[in-house]
Structure formats: C-alpha cells, structure tokens
C-alpha cells in the first residue's frame, strides 16, 4: 500500500457532499433557523395579557409570567419559542416517515443519485428564499418561515439517506477490497484478523492525512462509532469460520469512508459557522443577519454539491426500474423486525432500543431547547448563541478524543461509558429542576450557559459514539444494515415528542424552564431500562439469531442501502 492513499474519484465526489451539506445542518438547522423562527414570531408578538404593547427584540430577560410575549399564529396566541419547538416537532415527525419510505429508492443506484440532488436543491432553495423576505414582519411570513424550515429539514434528512446509501458501493470499488474479493481467502487465524483490522486503520490514517488535519481522525472515529463497527464485528464473527478477508476489509473500508466524510463535514460546518458569525456581529444580530446566514448556508449547500453530481456513479435506468420496490416494501421490512418473535429472540437488543427512544429524544431536545432558552429567556444575542453552538461542537470533539483513552486505561466497557454519559447528561435538567424546586436563581446568567454548554458538549460526543457502539455489539453478525435501519426508525419515530412537549409546557406555564422537568423525566426513564441490558447475553442472542437465518437469508435481508440511514 502506498504511504498516502489518494481517494477514488467517486469517493472524492461523495466527500464533496459532506463538505456541502454539513454546513446547512450545522449552521441553518441547528442554530440560525430555530432562533430566526423565534425572532420572527416575536416581531409580530405582544405582551400578555393585554396584547397591546409590542414585544421588544433583545429586551430584558423573560423571567416568567411577567411581560410574557405571545404571537398570534393560526388564530392562537403562542409563545415565540414554543412556535419554533412546534415547527421542529412537525418537521421531525414528517422526516421520520419520509426516511423510511424512500428506502427502496435509496437502494436503487439510478434513483438514489437523482433523489439526492432533488432533495439538495429543494432544501437549498428553501434556505435561499429567506433572503427574499420583506423587512416588515407579518403572520403569513412567520408561517412561511416555518414551512421552509420543515421542507429544509426533510430535504436534508432524505438527502443524507441517499448519500449514505452510496457507502457500500464506494467501498466495493476500493482497490484493496477488489483484490480481497478476487482472492476470497477465508480468515482463520487471529493474526490474519489483526492484520485486516490494522490495514483498515492504516487506510483511514493514510487517506485522512490528504483531506483532514492531523489529530482529528481519533475524534471522528469516536463520533462515528455507530457506523464504524471498527474491529468489533470482525473479531466477534471470527469464531464462526464464515468471515472472510473480503468481508472484513469491506466493513473497515465503509468505516474509513464514513469517518473521513464526517471529519470533512465537521470542518466545513464549524468553519462556515465562524464565518457566518461575522455578518451577524456586524449587523448586531438583527433578523436580516439571521436570514442572510440561512440563505448563505443554502447557497453553500447547492454550489458545493455540483462536484458530487458530476462525480458520483449514476447507475443504469433500466436496471433501476427493474429493482425498484414500493414504499410498502420499506414499511414491511421495518414491520418484520418488530414482530413479537424477533423481540423474543433478541430481548437485549430491543430493550436497548426502547431506552434509545427516550435517550435520543431527550438529548436532542436538550440541544434545541437550550438554543431557544439562551435566545428567548436570557436574551443572549445571536452572536453569543452561535458561540455556544460552536463551544458544544468543540467540546464534543475533545471528549471524543479523550474518553476512548480513559476507557482503555480504566478497562471499562462501551456500555459502562454510555451509562456514565447518560447520567452526566441528566445532570443538566437536574440542575434546572433543583433550582425550580428550591426557588434558586439558576440558569440566569451567560456564564452559566457557557459552562453548561461545555459540559453538554463533553457528554454529547461520547453519548452519540457509545450508544451506537453498544448497539453495534447487539446486532446479529451479517445483518448490520437491516438493524441500523431499525435504529434510525426508533430514533425518528418518537423524536418529535420532546420538542412538542417542551413547547406546550412553555405555552401553558409561560416559563421555558419548566420544560427541563420533562427533559429530566425523559432521561430518567431509560436508566432502569438500560440496567436490564446484558451486552454479553445480547451478543450470544445475536449470534444464534444470525446462525438461524444463515441458510434462509432473503433478498430483503441483503439490502445494503436503507440501513445506512442510521448515519
């Protein structure tokens, strides 16, 4: 192998999409759109209960029932922050349905590329339209902004599914994988397994040094541990005598491609966020500066996706039409996985998935709630809110580099680290709830929010990494794609509940702080559920399940694309 591996042209085109799309999600979806929706709603709002005095943008902090700002939207008086939460909830609910339904199209080499670019330019255009908004606020404009947020959210999610569906195809084109396929040599000794794992790691380092800064690979590998099975699936299945050198290299190559793609996306997202901070500061965080940031994120997404369109393989149209399945097939595939027979066969995996529903919703709702809390309750400026978003991302990368080293030194399992991350993340709503109960003046200063943002980032990185790593250990060998589609389904099926519930609580109480009570419940319920998970027994169950399916694996179980929507 050469000392510096140059990516295949198809791979470079795929990396270009990570560079393009991550800016939209890291900047627009995560920060600018939530606070823009809140600010647009506030611009047409009035202080309750008289509803005669217009709300002040960037005024004094909203301390509760006094001077509560409400906007009249669709005939109802709604808290501006709640409106943003409701829109987010609707977007996630529709997104969950769409990413499952488009699975058959993502499976087709011909349709996945076309759907990818259709979604890209729908999402890009929905962001660019914010640049055309008139300066005078009105209720229809607020509704249009909410609709564009939903469209952009769905377009990005579906585009990501299609992008991830290219991973197995690109991995099979790798020169080392092609060589291994020709040889088709069965791995029988641990030395050969270790050599395969080491080659995969070396490929990541060699290719990564051409594209990403030195030292970032470790963090990226940790963050993307869900899709990187890394050496675990290789070693876990080695005793069966069925694993081949080709299969091991294919798994590690997918791992490598995903890791470098995530690194490139992270670099582009954080860099663009820092650049977009400049006009926000210069324009003092007014609504136009926020809309400008959203529009430029859409332009970035659309322009830098052009190399992807030129470079990705297109597939044969006639073959795509022959292989095309219906939306019904996608939902049938998911339905087959949640039958009582499957749940009884893999109890630990499904117990973990039940906990994951609450954990995923809770952690992501904390992220969204905190951004709006900074803006609407503490009246932080948009530039300060953006800095908090950047702090969270950097803290997540730092912890992702440090925690694996600590884990190795303390000889802790993936499950141990995940459980500690859940407990650490729960301290944030605990802190807020203790303040409410004891009537302490907590979550009331900028310093507090920056400290909590750093803490959350340090926890969030390992949480994402190790939740997927633990789930990977529970998956039957050879069926990773199928079960990661189920992982994505459980992630999206209930993730709309958190934003809607917190928004409703804020509307009813007039105090977004009470939403942290709900978040505490969401992160408390899965704790005893997680304690019932036995990873060791789960691995045994997974092995038996895989062996029982070995002789009767259907074509549906062989699908490669839709499972990657767990990315």
SS (H, E, C) 342-364: HHHHCHHHHHHHHHHHHHHHHHH
- Same-domain pairing of 362 and 318: no
Q: With a cut of 50, say whether residue 349 has pLDDT above it.
A: yes
In this prediction, residue 496 carries a pLDDT of: 83
Q: Average pLDDT, stretch 141-148? A: 95
Domain that holds residue 481: 345-546
Whether 276 and 293 have beta carbons less than 8 Å apart is answered as: yes
Q: Average pLDDT, stretch 456-462? A: 88
Structure tokens, 528:
């005893």
pLDDT band for position 219 (50/70/90)? Answer: low
Q: With a cut of 60, say whether residue 258 has pLDDT above it.
A: yes
pLDDT higher at 567 or 235:
567
Q: With a cut of 90, say whether residue 152 has pLDDT above it.
A: yes
Domains of the chain: total: 2
In this prediction, residue 41 carries a pLDDT of: 93
Q: What element of type H or E holds 235?
A: helix 232-238
In this prediction, residue 317 carries a pLDDT of: 61
- Same-domain pairing of 445 and 521: yes
CATH code where residue 31 lies: 1.20.1250.20
112 vs 560: CA distance, rounded Å: 13
- Show which of 307, 330, 353 is a domain's final residue: 330
171 vs 254: CA distance, rounded Å: 6
Q: Which of 205-219, 234-248, 547-561 has the lowest mean pLDDT?
A: 234-248
- Same-domain pairing of 182 and 314: yes
Q: Average pLDDT, stretch 208-218? A: 54
In this prediction, residue 192 carries a pLDDT of: 53
Q: Average pLDDT, stretch 240-256? A: 61
How many alpha carbons fall within 13 Å on the CB side of residue 493?
15
- Show which of 276, 302, 330 is a domain's final residue: 330
pLDDT band for position 315 (50/70/90)? Answer: low
264 vs 269: CA distance, rounded Å: 9
pLDDT band for position 121 (50/70/90)? Answer: very high
- Show which of 330, 356, 376 is a domain's final residue: 330
In this prediction, residue 394 carries a pLDDT of: 83
In this prediction, residue 16 carries a pLDDT of: 92
pLDDT digits (tens, 9 = 90+) for 540-563: 998 888 877 765 544 444 444 344
- Same-domain pairing of 360 and 482: yes
pLDDT digits (tens, 9 = 90+) for 58-94: 655 444 445 788 999 988 999 998 999 999 999 988 8
> What share of the chain in percent tops pLDDT 90?
29
In this prediction, residue 550 carries a pLDDT of: 65
Q: With a cut of 80, say whether residue 198 has pLDDT above it.
A: no
In this prediction, residue 405 carries a pLDDT of: 83
Q: CB burial class (10 A; 0-12, 13-18, 19+) of residue 471?
A: buried
SS3 content of the chain, % helix, strand, coil (to 5): 75, 0, 20
- Residue 552 inside a domain? The answer is no
Q: Average pLDDT, stretch 196-200? A: 49
pLDDT band for position 184 (50/70/90)? Answer: low
pLDDT band for position 285 (50/70/90)? Answer: confident
In this prediction, residue 230 carries a pLDDT of: 34
Q: With a cut of 80, say whether residue 291 has pLDDT above it.
A: yes
In this prediction, residue 83 carries a pLDDT of: 93
- Same-domain pairing of 361 and 290: no
- Which value, to the nearest 10 degrees, does the dihedral of the CA atoms of residues 403, 477, 158, 287 take? -10
- Same-domain pairing of 324 and 356: no
- Same-domain pairing of 299 and 382: no
> How high does pLDDT run on average in the chain?
79
Structure tokens, 178:
């092609």
Q: With a cut of 70, say whether residue 478 has pLDDT above it.
A: no
Q: Which of 61-70, 166-175, 300-309 has the lowest mean pLDDT?
A: 61-70
In this prediction, residue 238 carries a pLDDT of: 35
- Same-domain pairing of 285 and 434: no
Q: CB burial class (10 A; 0-12, 13-18, 19+) of residue 310?
A: exposed
pLDDT digits (tens, 9 = 90+) for 399-448: 877 888 888 888 888 899 999 999 999 999 999 999 888 888 888 888 99
Q: Average pLDDT, stretch 323-351? A: 78
- Same-domain pairing of 181 and 313: yes
Sequence-separated (6 or more) residues with CB below 8 Å from residue 102 = 115, 158, 161, 162, 327, 330
Q: Average pLDDT, stretch 341-360? A: 90
- Same-domain pairing of 274 and 387: no
Task: For residue 461, give the 3-state DSSP assignment.
Answer: helix
Q: How far is CA 288 from the centre of its chain?
A: 28
Task: For residue 61, give the 3-state DSSP assignment.
Answer: coil
Q: Which of 276-290, 445-459, 492-506 has the lowest mean pLDDT?
A: 492-506
449 vs 515: CA distance, rounded Å: 16
pTM over 0.85: no
> What share of the chain in percent tops pLDDT 70?
77
- Residue 356 inside a domain? The answer is yes
Closest to 96 (Cα-Cα) out of 17, 28, 23, 153: 153
R_g over Cα of the chain: 24
- Residue 201 inside a domain? The answer is no
């Amino acid at each position: 192998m050469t000392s510096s591996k140059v990516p295949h042209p198809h791979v470079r085109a795929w990396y270009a999409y990570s560079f393009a799309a991550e800016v939209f999600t890291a900047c627009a979806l995560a920060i600018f759109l939530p606070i823009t929706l809140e600010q647009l709603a506030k611009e047409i709002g009035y202080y309750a209960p008289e509803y005669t005095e217009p709300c002040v943008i960037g005024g004094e902090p909203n301390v509760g029932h006094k001077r509560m700002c409400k906007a009249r939207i669709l005939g109802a008086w709604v808290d501006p922050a709640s409106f943003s939460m409701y829109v987010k909830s609707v977007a996630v609910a529709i997104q969950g349905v769409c990413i499952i339904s488009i699975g058959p199209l993502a499976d087709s080499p011909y349709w996945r590329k076309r759907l990818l670019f259709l979604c890209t330019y729908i999402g890009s255009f929905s962001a660019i339209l914010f640049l055309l908004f008139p300066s005078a606020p009105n209720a229809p404009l607020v509704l249009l902004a909410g609709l564009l947020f939903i469209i952009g959210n769905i377009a990005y999610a579906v585009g990501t599914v299609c992008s991830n569906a290219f991973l197995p195809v690109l991995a099979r084109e790798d020169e080392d994988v092609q060589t291994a396929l020709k040889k088709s040599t069965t791995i029988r000794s641990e030395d050969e397994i270790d050599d395969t794992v080491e080659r995969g790691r070396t490929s990541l380092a060699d290719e990564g040094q051409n594209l990403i800064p030195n030292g970032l690979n470790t963090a990226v590998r940790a963050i993307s541990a869900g899709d990187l099975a890394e050496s675990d699936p290789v070693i876990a299945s080695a005793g069966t005598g069925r694993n081949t050198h080709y299969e091991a290299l294919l798994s590690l190559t997918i791992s490598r491609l995903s890791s470098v793609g995530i690194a490139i996306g992270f670099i582009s997202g954080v860099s663009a966020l820092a650049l977009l901070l400049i006009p926000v500061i210069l324009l003092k965080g007014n609504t136009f500066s926020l809309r400008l940031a959203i529009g430029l994120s859409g332009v970035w997404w659309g322009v830098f996706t052009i190399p992807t369109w030129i470079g990705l393989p297109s597939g044969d149209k006639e073959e795509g039409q022959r292989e095309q399945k219906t939306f019904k097939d996608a939902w049938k595939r998911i339905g087959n996985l949640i039958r009582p027979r499957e749940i009884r066969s893999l109890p630990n995996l499904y117990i973990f998935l039940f906990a994951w529903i609450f954990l995923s919703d809770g952690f992501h709702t904390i992220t969204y709630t905190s951004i709006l809390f900074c803006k609407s309750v503490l009246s932080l400026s948009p530039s300060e809110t953006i800095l908090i978003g950047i702090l969270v991302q950097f803290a997540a990368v730092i912890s992702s580099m440090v925690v694996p080293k600590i884990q190795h030194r303390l000889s802790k399992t993936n499950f141990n680290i995940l459980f500690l991350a859940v407990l650490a993340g729960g301290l944030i709503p605990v802190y807020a709830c203790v303040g409410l109960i004891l009537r302490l003046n907590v979550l009331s200063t900028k310093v507090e929010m920056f400290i909590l943002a750093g803490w959350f980032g340090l926890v969030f990185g390992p949480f994402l990494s190790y939740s997927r790593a633990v789930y990977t250990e529970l998956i039957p060998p050879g069926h990773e794609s199928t079960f990661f589609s189920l992982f994505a389904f459980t992630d999206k099926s209930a993730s709309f509940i958190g934003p809607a519930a917190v928004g409703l609580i804020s509307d009813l109480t007039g105090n977004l702080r009470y939403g942290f009570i709900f978040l505490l419940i969401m992160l408390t319920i899965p704790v005893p559920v997680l304690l019932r998970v036995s990873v060791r027994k789960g691995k045994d169950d997974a092995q038996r399940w895989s062996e029982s399916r070995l002789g009767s694996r259907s074509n549906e179980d062989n699908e490669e694309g839709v499972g990657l929507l767990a990315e």
